[in-house]
Amino acid sequence: MPNPGPVSSAPADRDLIAQAAAGDERAIGQLYDRYATVLYTVAYRVSGQRADAEEVVIESFAQAWRDAARFEPGRGSVAGWLTMIARSRALDLVRARSRRERITQTAAADVPDAPLAMGTWRGDPADALDRTERRRQVRAALDELSPPQRQAIELAFFEGLSQSEIAERLNEPLGTVKTRVRLGMQKLRAALRPFFFEQGP
Amino acid sequence: MSTPDESSLRDLAAAYALGALSPEETRAFETYLATSPETRQEVAELRETAALLALSAPDAEPAAGLRARVLEAVSASKLRPLSPSPTAAPAPPRPARRPSPLVWAALAASLLAAVGLGLRTGRLADELARRNAELAERDSTIAEQARRLAAEGQRLATTDSTLASLLSPGVQLVQLTATGDPDPQIQLFWDRRRNTAVLHASKLKPVPAGRTYQLWFIKDGKPVPSVTFDVAPAGEALVPRVTVPSEGQISAAAVTEEPAGGSPQPTTPVLLVGTLAKS
């Protein structure tokens, strides 16, 4: 049972988003309990700073709250939507920081924090179990890619590079990078479809 | 450049879901997307796939207090929602209501009705993309402003501590000047009790790339290397904390131009010099 989904008594993610759209703040609390760890993980991986990752999580849920009415179920799951919000906010933050650091030439280098926060909060154990299984599947699927495919996809997702920027960084032809991204993503999609946050209609 | 055909547009779906297209490719792809329900389905799945990549990152758990901060931010944002455009009238006092789902359903329906009318659809897709880009830009501006404020706070704190160093009792001012040129000047505020100094330079010529200014203390007749510093285009520099050698007899301070990173011994003639009076 790789993808048990929410227990029957718990409201579906989409219902929570609808409640948030109707002005119920508690819905955001419930979404936090389900997905804060995923959002924090990606924000931390992108920014490398605990304080930045926390700021990203706060801003992402605030944005989800503001944009709840604009959520389009046809475009994917709530969890996927939240995750992509957190990823792009983290990338924005990192880009803004590097712009600023290029301007002011202060030397004080930010030392990356240790990955695990002290005194951590842990969500619902059922969600954690779900997350552990998904994580295992995602890592296994990535291991099935060729290393260059995996590298191109990770540069795009975690560092926000465009295909041209990836080609430049790796000193490879653009066409080669495009093929790696396309084939790699198609392979991941086939392998991970059973583990999507929500199954399609 | 010829217009990309449909299959090559469809090939962009994976990169689009990862946000790895150029702005032009994104525009072309979104226009095409509005006309192709199958590709929309494909993009939805690829986006789900991309979102799962988050789980491949090393495990990290948020701190315990974060939940409360999120809920606080949510409550706060209820009071000041994004206004629809900078020129729009101020929002009414109970603004938590966003456009009702009906409005969005109607928009979605009109979007569907436009499928087949290629041109009109393209325009709608462009408009949506433009609005989305505007919103994203506004969001990132807000993040940028918050960062800038934090940086400004940091700068103020540095200024405060510099000022405190200048004002502490027993600080002696040493002027470094150049022979034959009245312009360049360096002031050294030397705190004898703490063996520290604040260096302030004005009207120094910028040095070429790969070169830097270096300060020296003349101790027992020999130059002891101190800090290196670069000047702003206006010729100004401020080094808030210079350590002055505590042992031995210091008779003077001098400045030379050195290779970036500084030298253990001066390699060029002294540009500015000032003598340190005995206390």
A70 touches chain B (CB under 8 A): yes
Q: What pLDDT score does B52 carry?
A: 95
Report all structural domains of chain A as residue ranges with CATH numbers, in order of start. Answer: 8-108+118-123 (1.10.1740.10), 124-201 (1.10.10.10)
Q: A66 burial class (0-12, 13-18, 19+ CB within 10 angstroms)? A: buried
Q: A113-117, B7-11, B71-75: lowest mean pLDDT where? A: A113-117
More confident of the two residues B194 and A116: B194
Query: Nearest Cβ partner of B54 from A42, A58, A162?
Result: A42
The residue type found at A22 is A
How large is the C-alpha radius of gyration of chain B? 31
Q: Which chain B residue has the Cα nearest residue A81?
A: B51
CA distance A158 to A42: 8
Report all structural domains of chain B as residue ranges with CATH numbers, in order of start. Answer: 171-275 (2.60.40.200)
CA of A140 to nearest chain B CA: how many angstroms apart?
9
Q: What pLDDT score does B80 carry?
A: 41
**What are the pLDDT digits (tens) for B48-58?**
999 999 999 98
- Evaluate if residue A5 carries a pLDDT over 50: no
Q: Residue B116: which residues within 8 A CB-CB, separation 6 or more?
A: B35
Tallying the residues shown for chain A, one arrives at 201
**What are the pLDDT digits (tens) for B128-168?**
887 888 888 888 888 888 888 888 888 888 777 777 777 77
Query: Encoding tokens for residue B168?
Result: 């502490």
Q: What is the DSSP string of A98-159?
A: HHHHHHS----PPPPPPSSPSSB----HHHHHHHHHHHHHHHHHHHTS-HHHHHHHHHHHHH
- All residues of chain A having their beta carbon less than 8 Å from the beta carbon of residue B99 are 69
Q: Which chain A residue has the Cα nearest residue B137?
A: A92
A188 touches chain B (CB under 8 A): yes
Mean pLDDT for all residues in chain B: 81
Q: What pLDDT score does B78 carry?
A: 61
A181 touches chain B (CB under 8 A): yes
Q: Is there a contact between B45 and A196 if contact means CB atoms under 8 Å apart?
A: yes
Q: Is there a contact between B136 and A88 if contact means CB atoms under 8 Å apart?
A: yes
Q: B18-22, B160-164, B182-186: lowest mean pLDDT where? A: B160-164
Please state, for a pLDDT cut of 90, what percent of chain A lies above it.
61
Task: Give me the residues of B, 174-233, that contact A with CB < 8 A.
Answer: none
Query: Nearest Cβ partner of B61 from A83, A116, A154?
Result: A116
**B211-219/B222-229 β-pairing:** antiparallel
- All residues of chain B having their beta carbon less than 8 Å from the beta carbon of residue A117 are 60-63
Q: Can you tell me the ipTM of this complex?
A: 0.84
B74 touches chain A (CB under 8 A): yes
Query: Nearest Cβ partner of A65 from B74, B143, B146?
Result: B74
pLDDT category at A117 given cuts 50, 70, 90 is very low
Strands (E), chain B: 171-178, 181-191, 196-202, 211-219, 222-229, 237-243, 250-259, 272-275
Q: A32 burial class (0-12, 13-18, 19+ CB within 10 angstroms)? A: buried
